Chain A
């Protein structure tokens, strides 16, 4: 077990916007074929963390290793190749609104020229079914969907190419509880069946325990606790306890965010 190389290894990751310090030395390991749940207050830098790994935000300092390879210090083409194997569900969906739903879902497959357009259309229908949407939804444009449906289409797009690492930024926010459970199941399925590695950000503790093997909490730019997801509710850490039980009193005081 100790010999295993983490799928994702982050050390000392720092990022400030102006004089606002968002990430202040993040250390995180995600083992292959497991799923990691990241929790933390609103504005604590969870989305920024994922975007740093994806290369969408340039961190100020630190190490990000994917499969033991430092993506911040390798050749640009290699870094792009390493990152191309990560599927991402953006917090707001980020669907391409000039394209129909099916083309959104199959975008990655078409871009990698793995299949032609007709096969892509069929494949999109299958993936949409996995997230509980009829194939006919594929003909609509993203603007014609409800918020929850957009989220599911975005999820379908993130997993369509069966990437070996998947990032989910609040996959179940905005979904009804039953659909939330279905989506959680789908994420677990991707990890178990496809052997993918998942990192999910969530504010939903039920969902966190369903998805996560491991869990970590980010607070004030640092990981203040990490452990098995099953221990989230009784971690013994006062901050985590307050957060997971949603108490108003505790070590975390609501501060005005800058």
Chain B
């Protein structure tokens, strides 16, 4: 019994320490954004890596999600003869929820892992130490540009995902389910409010920041050779994915609970 209590205590202490370290790390990374120099080159590289090279993955995810949504909601709503709602269900689910979350999860797997591996390797091969002996602050050089790039790139990706997701639904609805094309589009646009899209993009910015933060944090603190880097990579993806889902709830609560 006491053992159990001790274990629970240790785990909560570890969780607190982790949260504290992560918060300090994130704040310090952000504070470096405010003080010059800013490494544009590193920022550009990170933006390309997170945004541009994730396009195919996010695009495919979005299209298929839109298609499935149309199909599923049609079979569901047909039972109540409410097929007309398909368009609005697709567009609202994609912009408010599925676009940001699925893009976030895909990018967490792709980019979060790559970041943790790259920075982790730099850590265990002394490259991060070498940076500070060459008049370069590693937080400023490695972390700050990636945090900013994450928060900017993911909303851009989600804009693409929103469009493609709606398109996927449109394709299925009109070509397979026999909806009138103009009617479907009109229904889509009629139900869409600017806040739906904006809240989705705001979520995406937070998720992008979380992905970059976890990748950098785990990589930066990795220890002990290839194995340590591997562990950091896994931890970055797992933690980022969980945090994305948790923050998704929190942000939804903030935006839509009145």
Contact = CB atoms under 8 A, between A and B. Distances in A.
B126 A92 contact: yes
A107 B126 contact: no
B135 A112 contact: yes
Contacts, number: 47
Nearest to A54: B133
A108 B141 CA distance: 13
B133 A88 contact: yes
B118 interface: yes
B111 to A, nearest CB: 15
A87 interface: yes
Nearest to B122: A96
B132 interface: yes
B136 interface: yes
Interface string B67-89: 00000000000000000000000
Interface in A94-151: 94-98, 107-108, 111-112
A94 B135 contact: no
Of B121, B132, B134, most buried by chain A (CB within 10 Å of CB) is B134
Contacts of A210: none
Interface string A71-83: 0000000000001
A2 B134 CA distance: 33
Contact of A94 (B118, B130, B136): B130
Given A92-B125, A94-B126, A111 B133 contact: no
Given A90-B130, A94-B130, A98-B118, A111 B125 contact: no
Interface residues of A, number: 23
Contacts of B132: 54-56
A111 B129 CA distance: 15
B127 A111 contact: no
Contacts of B131: 96
7 contacts: A88-B133, A95-B127, A95-B130, A96-B131, A97-B121, A111-B136, A161-B135
Nearest to B37: A113
B129 A108 contact: no
A107 B133 contact: no
A111 B135 contact: yes
Contact of B135 (A84, A90, A98): A84
Nearest to A90: B126
Contact of A108 (B121, B122, B125, B134): B134
Nearest to A55: B132
Interface string A33-53: 000000000000000000100
Contacts of A108: 134-135
Nearest to A157: B134
Of A55, A88, A94, A112, most buried by chain B (CB within 10 Å of CB) is A94
B129 A51 contact: yes
A86 interface: yes
